Amino acid sequence: MKELKRILLVEDSPNDVELTLAALEENHLANEVVVVRDGEEALDYIYRRGIFKLRIEGNPVVVLLDLKLPKVDGLEVLAQLKSDPTMKLIPVVMLTSSREEQDLIRSYDLGVNAYVVKPVDFHEFVNAIKGIGLFWAVVNQPPPGSFPLVCAV
pLDDT at 153: 36
- Give the predicted TM-score (pTM) of the model: 0.86
Three-state secondary structure along the chain? CCCCCCEEEECCCHHHHHHHHHHHHHCCECCCEEEECCHHHHHHHHCCCHHHCCCCCCCCCEEEECCCCCCCCHHHHHHHHHHCCCCCCCCEEEEECCCCHHHHHHHHHHCCCEEEECCCCHHHHHHHHHHHHHHHHHHCCCCCCCCCCCECC
pLDDT tens per residue across all 153 residues of the chain: 455 668 899 999 999 999 889 888 877 766 788 999 999 999 999 999 999 999 988 888 889 999 999 999 999 999 999 999 999 999 999 999 889 999 999 999 999 999 999 888 888 888 888 888 767 655 766 665 455 444 443
In CATH terms, the fold of domain 7-139 is: Rossmann fold (3.40.50)
Listed by start position, the domains of the chain span 7-139
Residue 133: what pLDDT?
Answer: 74
